[in-house]
Structure 1
Amino acid sequence: MRRYSGAGARQQQQTEAVADRVHRYRRVLMVLLSPVLLISFVLLLMPRAPASASGGVLLAVGGRRWGPRAVEDGLNKYAVIFDAGSSGSRVHVYCFDENLDLVPIGKEIELFKQATAGLRALGTQRSEEILQAVTINYLLGKLGKPYSNTVGVVDLGGGSVQMAYAISEKDAAKAPLVADGEDSYVKELLLKGTTYYLYVHSYLHYGLLAARGEILKAGEGSDYSDCMLEGHLGKYNYGGNTFEASGSPSGASYSKCRALAVRALKVDEPACTHMKCTFGGVWNGGGGDGQKNLFVASFFFDRAAEAGFVDPKAAVAKVKPSDFEETARRVCKLNLKDAHATYPDVSEENIPYLCIDLVYQYTLLVDGFGVDPYQDITLVKKVPYGDSYVEAAWPLGSAIEIASSS
C-alpha cells in the first residue's frame, strides 16, 4: 500500500476532493454540458461553403442566447434552438437568407434532433404564446408589414388558452398596469425591421380540459350535469379536484350547458366596467385590425376534425364559430351509445365530454373573445410555406426573433 506524506499527501487529498465533487455534482454537470454537446453535434451536420464566405450562427438555449458567431455559409444565418424539457431534449436548426426567408437544410425546412435525456430548462423561459404568434405570421409572409396586415392567434391547450395579436402603438399605451410578478399585457418586438406591439394573455384554468372542471363546478348542486351525455355515469378528475359528471336521464341540454359555460367564463366580471374585457376581468387589448383575421390551433382543430366538419388530414381549414355551435346542438341530443356510433374518431375517454367541449369552444370564441358567430376563422395544424408544411411551434418563433435582432 502506497503512503503519502507532507506535500504529496496534501496533493493527493486535493485530487480526491475534486474527484468527489465531480462525482457528487455529476448530474448538474450533465445538465450544463449536454446542451453544448448536442448543439456541437448539430453544428457538425450543417452544410459548409467555401472558406472565403461569412455568415452567422445564433444559439438559443432555454432562452439564453450566444451569437452571432461566424460560420462559413455565405450570407445565410443559422439559428439553433435548444428546447430542454423535463421529459426530453430537442434541438431545432433553421437557416435564414439575408431577407430572413427560410432556406431548406438539405430537403427539410427544419433540422430536428431529439435526445432522450430530460434536462432542466436553462436561463429565462420564453413566452411560447408570443413565439407561436410570431411563427404563424412569419410563415404567412406577414412580418415586415403593418400590424393591420397580421393575424391573431388563439391556442387552446389543455390547461390554458392563449390569445395573441398585434395592436397599434396607441392601444398599447392604454394597457392596464399589472400586479408585481405578473406578465404585462403588451410585448414590444422588432421583427424583420418592423416594431410590433403584441397583445398577449394566457388564461389559466380555461384550456379545454381545465374548462370542463370549471363548467361542471358551475353546475354543482345536482346529481347530474346538463353538459354530459345520457348514459354516462362517473366523475371528472382534473387538477386534484373531482366533479360530478354523470349524464341526466333526460340527456344533455345545449342551452343549459351554454349558460353554465358563460357562467364559468365570468364574462360579466365587475372589473370590466372601466375597460373593454374578454372574460374574467382581463383587458382585451382594444381589438382592432390585428384581430380581424384569427388563426386558432390545438384542441380547436382536434375537436373539429373528430366531429367531422374538418378534414383530419388537412393542414388548415376555414370554419366559423357557428360550426361548433351547430355540431354541439346535434351532439348534445345524443346518448352515449349513439355518440359512439356517430363519431367513431372521438376516443373512448373523450366521447362523454364531446357536448361540453364543443359548447365551450363556441362560447369561448363568441362570448369570451367577442368573435362574430359567422366570422371566418382559420383552424391550423401546420402552416403552408413554399412547398412545405411547417408546424406552428415556438422554436421557429424564437429563431425568427433572434435572427431579426442580430
Structure 2
Amino acid sequence: MKRSRQESLSEKIYRFRAIILLITIPLLLISFLLFLMPRITDGIIISSFSDGGTSVLTGRRFSPDRRFVSKSYAVIFDAGSSGSRVHVYCFDENLDLLPIGKHLELFRQLTPGLSAYASDPQAAAESLESLLVEAENVVPQGLRHKTPVRVGATAGLRALEGDASDKILQAVKDFLGDKSSLKFQSDWVTVLDGTQEGAFQWVTINYLLGNLGKRYSNTVGVVDLGGGSVQMAYAISEKDAAKSPKSTDGEDSYVKELFLKGRKYYLYVHSYLHYGLLAARAEILKSMEGSENPCILGGHHGSYKYGGSVYKASAPLSGSSFTECQRAALKALKVNESTCSHMQCTFGGVWNGGGGDGQKNLFVASFFFDRAAEAGFVDPKQPVAKVKPTDFADAAKRACELSLKDAKSQYPDVGGDNLPYMCMDLIYQYTLLIDGFALDPWQEITLVKKVKYRDSLVEAAWPLGSAIEAASVS
C-alpha cells in the first residue's frame, strides 16, 4: 500500500491562509486602537448634570486607574438667613465624591445673608459675586457650560414680608444669567421649602456615613438648627409611614419617599419655621416686649433686628436669669399652648413621626455645634462631638451668671452681635431638645460640623444631599 506524504506546516498555513488572515487582521486592528485610545483621550471622559439633574456620560472609561474617571461638577448656593455659602462638588460615575484640589469640596461663606438686603434686591444678588468667582475657578473651563449652578434660599427669605423675597430671587436670576459662565436655568433659583432642606440634610449625613443602601434602622436621624427654622428628619418603617396623619391643605406631607442606592426609604421630616436660633431670639424678645428681658446678659441695652423688624433687647438690673429665661423660651415654643390632635406630638401640635430605630441615633447640626463650641464644652477643632442635652443646660447656667463685660473674656470667640444672647441661645437649645422634641436629658447625641468621608472631612450641609438626590435619578 502506498503511504501518503505528511503535509508540512508551511503548506498548511498556505492552504488556510484566507481563514488566518480573516482572524488576525481584525485582532491587530483592535490591538492598535486600544494602544492609541488612552493617548487620544488622555483617559478622561467627562459627564455633566443635564436638565433635571440627570447625569449624562459623554463617553466610556478606558482605564481602571483612578486617575482616569468620569467627572461631573455641581455648584450649589445655600442662601441662608445667617449668611450665603457656596458648595462645589465633583462626582464620579458611581456617585462617589472626587477631590477638588486637596479637599472633597470647595466651601466658602460670607455674611450677611440675602434677607439682610430686603430693601435692595440688586445688592443682595451682587453679594454672591465673590462666591461665584471662587466656584467658577475650580471648575475646569471646558466643563463650566455643562456644570449647573443652583441657588436654594432657606428660612431667611421665607420669613420676609410682602414681595421682598420674589424681588431678591429675580435679582439673583438676572445676576447669574448675566455674570455666570456656568449652566443656568431660571427655575434653579428658588426658595427651598423646609421639608426639602431637612430631607437633603438627612441624605447628606447618611451618605457621608456610608448608610445609604442599608436598612432604615441602620441610618441616623438629623436635627438641623438654622437661623430661621429647625428641621427634624429620620427614617421610619413602611408600617409607620402608612399610619402618618394626612396633611391639610397648604401643609407639607409628613413623610417623603426616597429611593437611594437601591433602597426605598420612608422619611419623616418636618420643618418648624420661626423656630431657628435667630428667629427664636425674636420670638423670645417679642414675648416680653416693652420690658427688660431676663435672657439678656447683664449690662446690655440695645435692640435686635430680624426679618425686617426691630425688638428691644435690654437686660434687667439684676442681669440674666436661667429660670426666668427658660419660662420665656417655653412660651416662645408654645409647648403648653397647642393642642395635639395626633397620638404623639412635638411642640406646636406637630406629629413627631412615632419614633423608632431611625431616630435612636441623632446627629444634631448647625447652630447646635457652633454654640456648644463657643460655650467651651466641645472642641471646635474636632468635627464631631458626643454630648447630652444637659450639657446645654449646664453651659446656660454658667452663661446666665455672667455680665456682658465678664462674658467678653469668658467667650473670646463669640462676636459682639451674638455675645449678649449666650444665655438665651443655650437655654433655647436645651428647651428645644427636651421640651420641644421630648428627648431624654441624658440621651447621647452627636454634634456634627463635618463628617469624615474616606480620608477627608466634608461639611454636613444640605447642598450635598441636593446634588446626590439629583444625580440619583440618572
For the aligned pair, the TM-score class normalised by the smaller chain equals: 0.7 to 0.9
Q: How far did 1:51 drift?
A: 5.6
Q: Which amino acid aligns with 2:239?
A: K
Q: Given the alignment of the two structures, is residue 132 of structure 1 paired with residue 125 of structure 2, yes or no?
A: no
Q: Distance in 2 between matches of 1:193 and 1:53?
A: 29
Check the 8 A contact 1:79/1:403 in 2, yes or no.
no
TM (norm. structure 1) is 0.79
Write out aligned runs for 1:129-278 (5 A).
129-220=198-289, 223-278=291-346
Equivalent in the alignment of 1:16: none
Write out aligned runs for 1:386-397 (5 A).
386-397=454-465
Greater mean alpha carbon deviation, residues 120-129 or residues 64-73:
120-129
Q: Distance in 1 between matches of 2:379 and 2:84?
A: 31
Equivalent in the alignment of 2:56: 68
Equivalent in the alignment of 1:367: 435
Q: Given the alignment of the two structures, is residue 109 of structure 1 paired with residue 109 of structure 2, yes or no?
A: no
Greater mean alpha carbon deviation, residues 321-330 or residues 391-400:
391-400
Equivalent in the alignment of 1:305: 373
Write out aligned runs for 1:269-348 (5 A).
269-348=337-416
- Cα 1:349–1:91 shift into 2, 3 Å: closer
Q: Distance in 2 between matches of 1:251 and 1:191?
A: 51
Q: Distance in 1 between matches of 2:85 and 2:318?
A: 49
Q: Given the alignment of the two structures, is residue 123 of structure 1 paired with residue 187 of structure 2, yes or no?
A: yes
Q: Distance in 1 between matches of 2:96 and 2:406?
A: 50
Q: Which runs of 5+ in 2 are unaligned?
A: 1-37, 108-133, 138-171, 178-184
Greater mean alpha carbon deviation, residues 128-137 or residues 141-150:
128-137
Q: Distance in 1 between matches of 2:284 and 2:323?
A: 13
Q: How far did 1:240 drift?
A: 2.6
Q: How far did 1:150 drift?
A: 0.6
Note the alpha carbon deviations across 1:170-229, whole angstroms, 9 max, x for none. 1212222223343211110111001001111111111111101111222336x2111111
Q: How far did 1:169 drift?
A: 1.1
Q: Distance in 1 between matches of 2:441 and 2:319?
A: 26
- Cα 1:263–1:402 shift into 2, 3 Å: same
Q: Distance in 1 between matches of 2:72 and 2:249?
A: 33
Equivalent in the alignment of 1:26: none
Q: Distance in 2 between matches of 1:206 and 1:109?
A: 32
SS in 1 for 2:468: helix
Check the 8 A contact 2:89/2:97 in 1, yes or no.
no
Q: How far did 1:52 drift?
A: 11
- Cα 1:103–1:206 shift into 2, 3 Å: same
C-alpha RMSD of matched pairs (Å):
2.9
Q: Which amino acid aligns with 1:119?
A: L
Q: Given the alignment of the two structures, is residue 399 of structure 1 paired with residue 392 of structure 2, yes or no?
A: no
Q: How far did 1:365 drift?
A: 0.8
Q: Given the alignment of the two structures, is residue 59 of structure 1 paired with residue 128 of structure 2, yes or no?
A: no
Equivalent in the alignment of 1:383: 451
- Cα 1:106–1:361 shift into 2, 3 Å: closer
Check the 8 A contact 1:88/1:114 in 2, yes or no.
no
Q: How far did 1:50 drift?
A: 7.3
SS in 1 for 2:348: coil
Q: Distance in 2 between matches of 1:373 and 1:89?
A: 33
Q: Which runs of 5+ in 1 are unaligned?
A: 1-47
Q: Distance in 2 between matches of 1:49 and 1:210?
A: 58
* Percent of paired sites with the same residue: 60
Check the 8 A contact 1:58/1:403 in 2, yes or no.
no
SS in 2 for 1:280: helix
Q: Distance in 2 between matches of 1:170 and 1:200?
A: 16
Q: Which amino acid aligns with 2:432?
A: L
- Cα 1:56–1:191 shift into 2, 3 Å: farther
Q: How far did 1:404 drift?
A: 3.1
Note the alpha carbon deviations across 1:47-67, whole angstroms, 9 max, x for none. x99769898835167xx3244
SS in 2 for 1:215: helix
Q: Distance in 2 between matches of 1:88 and 1:207?
A: 16
Q: Distance in 2 between matches of 1:49 and 1:66?
A: 29
- Cα 1:234–1:91 shift into 2, 3 Å: closer
Q: How far did 1:384 drift?
A: 0.5
Q: How far did 1:91 drift?
A: 7.1
SS in 2 for 1:209: helix
Q: Distance in 2 between matches of 1:49 and 1:218?
A: 70
Q: Which amino acid aligns with 1:315?
A: P
How many residues align? The count is 355
Greater mean alpha carbon deviation, residues 206-215 or residues 266-275:
266-275
Check the 8 A contact 1:131/1:397 in 2, yes or no.
yes
Q: Distance in 2 between matches of 1:155 and 1:365?
A: 11
Q: Distance in 1 between matches of 2:272 and 2:325?
A: 21
Greater mean alpha carbon deviation, residues 212-221 or residues 285-294:
212-221
Q: Distance in 2 between matches of 1:89 and 1:373?
A: 33
Q: Which amino acid aligns with 2:199?
A: I
Q: Distance in 2 between matches of 1:133 and 1:49?
A: 42
Q: How far did 1:83 drift?
A: 2.7
- Cα 1:299–1:72 shift into 2, 3 Å: same
SS in 2 for 1:178: coil
Q: Which amino acid aligns with 2:305?
A: N
Check the 8 A contact 2:78/2:463 in 1, yes or no.
no
SS in 2 for 1:275: coil
TM (norm. structure 2) is 0.68
